[in-house]
Amino acid sequence: MITKTCPHCGIAFKPTRRKQLSCARKRCIAAQAAESRDRITKYQAAHRAAKQDTIAKSSAAYRAANPDKIAQYQATYRATHRDQIAEYQAAYRAANRDKIAKRHAAHRAANRKKLAGRTAAYRAALRDEIARRTAASNAANAKKRAKQNAASRVAKRLSKARIKR
């Protein structure tokens, strides 16, 4: 007859059943039961997680492969359940009024910051652009004025020369 060592008390025992893992002490039986329960729970959780992962993967693949079919299905669903959806949404809004208000406020606050940042960036960009344009126009005007001055000097010289003759 084989003997096993009880993992809970470390004492050798002769199992009466093939799958008996602990000795027959109440404390060890309880400990063994708790361990099995724990193992089963863990196994079930892992199994559930694996199953969910598989489901998520296969539904993602389905969505990717059948976008038209899904859009069609959703449109049909919305059309046939219009009242139900409206009712559900109204109930949700009524039940979550505070939550929704808070979410809206948070959204507004976040966008305000974003918007303010965008406006500042726009103003800065505009400032640079205006400065660049002003400088370019000043340079062009200076060139034009210089050309005009030169032309008028030449004209004056020419007219003086004509008078002398």
Examine residue 21 and tell whether it contacts Zn ion (CB under 5 A).
Answer: no
Q: Which stretch binds Zn ion (CB under 5 A): 15-23, 48-56, 109-117, 125-133?
A: 15-23
Report, in Å, the least distance between residue 31 CB and Zn ion.
8
Please enumerate in sequence order all residues whose Cβ is within 8 A of that of 124, keeping only pairs 6 or more positions apart, or say none: none
Among 14, 16, 28, 122, binds Zn ion (CB under 5 A): 28
Examine residue 8 and tell whether it contacts Zn ion (CB under 5 A).
Answer: yes
Examine residue 6 and tell whether it contacts Zn ion (CB under 5 A).
Answer: yes
How many residues in the shown chain lie near Zn ion by CB under 5 A?
6
Report, in Å, the least distance between residue 5 CB and Zn ion.
9
Among 3, 5, 9, 108, binds Zn ion (CB under 5 A): 9
Examine residue 29 and tell whether it contacts Zn ion (CB under 5 A).
Answer: no
Q: How far apart are CA 62 and CA 60, in angstroms?
A: 5
Q: Which stretch binds Zn ion (CB under 5 A): 18-26, 44-52, 124-132, 149-157?
A: 18-26
Q: State which of positions 55-114 bind Zn ion (CB under 5 A).
A: none
Please enumerate in sequence order all residues whose Cβ is within 8 A of that of 24, keeping only pairs 6 or more positions apart, or say none: 13, 16
Judge whether 22 and 32 are in contact, CB under 8 Å: yes
Judge whether 23 and 37 are in contact, CB under 8 Å: no
Burial class (CB in 10 A: 0-12, 13-18, 19+), 115: exposed
CA neighbor of 103 nearest in space, from 91, 87, 116, 92? 92
What are the two backbone dihedrals, phi and then psi, of residue 11, each rounded to the nearest 5 degrees?
-95, 140
Q: Which stretch binds Zn ion (CB under 5 A): 24-32, 128-136, 143-151, 156-164?
A: 24-32
Residues that bind Zn ion (CB under 5 A): 6, 8-9, 23, 25, 28
